[in-house]
Amino acid sequence: MSTELKGAPVAAAINERSQKELRHLAEADIVSTLAIVRVGAREDDLAYESGAVKRCEKVGVAVSLISLPESVTQDELLKNIYELNNAPSVHGVLILMPLPKQLDGEAVRQALSPEKDVDGITDGSLAGVFTGSGRGFAPCTAQACIEILDHYGIDCKGKRAVVIGRSLVVGKPVAMLLMAKHATVTVCHTRSVDMPSITQNAEILIAAAGKARAIGSEYLSENQVVIDVGINFSDGVMCGDVDFDAALPIVSAITPVPGGVGTVTTSVLVNHVVEAAKRQNKM
């Protein structure tokens, strides 16, 4: 029977780290501030925003909400981003994605100042993840996977880690973060042939396929640590990419959905805002 790697204690430990830093910043009269840019009112965006706002308030980070109509033009949106880049009181900016179709998401990504890019969407942040230079910030979800492994004392060094998915939000960056922790990393994706034979061989398995319960028992083996990044809805019930009930009797440890990676992501975001405030004030 597996151990459940719950997100809540991981989030609590990150929040505690953040709060310690916030006390230092407060002594220098700095109020760490996150600006959230939302275009339109997609349900996903509203849910994520509400979670992020609550987490910020709980930890002690100020939030500035910029809500733009779905019909906003590229120029208006970019003008907002430039203003946030230049606002000394704003330390981190989260742009909720994807943007409506009339907007050039790529241009918007690159318009954001890498110093304020707390969710790792700019080339500056992604180059930092790729090179391991420590510049910029890793995408929060990718970082959350690593925080969970660290918190539960799972050493990556020399381990066979397999990542399912090659997105820029999770798959590729988490592969780089695992490599920096000296894991032997394999990235599988939709074009991979006989994926179960590859994933069964993993000691650490990161599922970021984006398909409800797609990873069944045939993908799994004993002694695996499984981090399930998926957030899907099946018949109105939230579930991960891994078939949790099938995995539980097989693997050594697994994150639940809900209550796993998703619980940690906003704590990572808040921690990035605090870190950004420190860097911008050379503390």
Closer by beta carbon to a copy of itself, 54 or else 182? 182
- The residue length of the chain stands at 283
Q: Does 207 bind a copy of itself (CB under 8 A)?
A: no
Handedness of CA 239, 245, 251, 256 (dihedral sign): positive
By CB under 8 A, name the one of 6, 42, 189, 211 that touches a copy of itself.
189
**Unique residue bearing structure tokens 């204690």:** 9
Q: Does 128 bind a copy of itself (CB under 8 A)?
A: yes
By CB under 8 A, name the one of 184, 200, 217, 252 that touches a copy of itself.
184
Q: Phi/psi of residue 75, each to 5°?
A: -60, -45
Q: Which two tokens stand for residue 222?
A: 């004993």
Q: Which two tokens stand for residue 267?
A: 């704590």
Q: Does 214 bind a copy of itself (CB under 8 A)?
A: no
> What's the closest the beta carbon of residue 184 comes to a copy of itself, in angstroms?
4
> What's the closest the beta carbon of residue 166 comes to a copy of itself, in angstroms?
6
- C-alpha dihedral, 70 to 76 to 81 to 82, nearest 10°: 180
CA distance 121 to 43: 21
Q: Does 86 bind a copy of itself (CB under 8 A)?
A: no
Q: Does 179 bind a copy of itself (CB under 8 A)?
A: yes
From the number of C-beta atoms within 10 Å of its C-beta (0-12, 13-18, 19+), residue 20 rates as exposed
Q: Which two tokens stand for residue 107?
A: 């241009």
Closer by beta carbon to a copy of itself, 198 or else 269? 198
Q: Does 131 bind a copy of itself (CB under 8 A)?
A: yes
Closer by beta carbon to a copy of itself, 21 or else 123? 123
The CA distances from residue 155 to 14, 161, 162, in Å, are 18, 11, 15
Q: How many residues bind a copy of itself (CB under 8 A)?
A: 32
CA distance 95 to 64: 12
CA distance 243 to 24: 44
Which of 243, 241, 227, 248 lies closest to 7 in space, CA to CA?
227
Closer by beta carbon to a copy of itself, 12 or else 179? 179
Within positions 134 to 173, which residues make up the interface with a copy of itself, using CB under 8 A? Answer: 135, 157-160, 166, 168, 172
Kindly indicate which of the ranges 23-31, 145-153, 185-193, 242-250 contains the residues binding a copy of itself, using the contact rule CB under 8 A. 185-193
Q: Does 221 bind a copy of itself (CB under 8 A)?
A: no
Kindly indicate which of the ranges 20-28, 70-78, 187-195, 240-248 contains the residues binding a copy of itself, using the contact rule CB under 8 A. 187-195
Within positions 1 to 40, which residues make up the interface with a copy of itself, using CB under 8 A? Answer: none
Looking at residue 92, its amino acid is G
Residues β-bridged to residue 226: 205, 254
Kindly indicate which of the ranges 45-53, 62-70, 89-97, 193-201 contains the residues binding a copy of itself, using the contact rule CB under 8 A. 193-201
Q: Does 279 bind a copy of itself (CB under 8 A)?
A: no
- Do the strands 3-4 and 253-254 form a parallel or antiparallel pair, or are they unpaired? parallel
> What's the closest the beta carbon of residue 114 comes to a copy of itself, in angstroms?
9
Q: Which residues bind a copy of itself (CB under 8 A)?
A: 106, 123-124, 126-131, 133, 135, 157-160, 166, 168, 172, 176, 179, 182, 184-189, 191-193, 195, 198
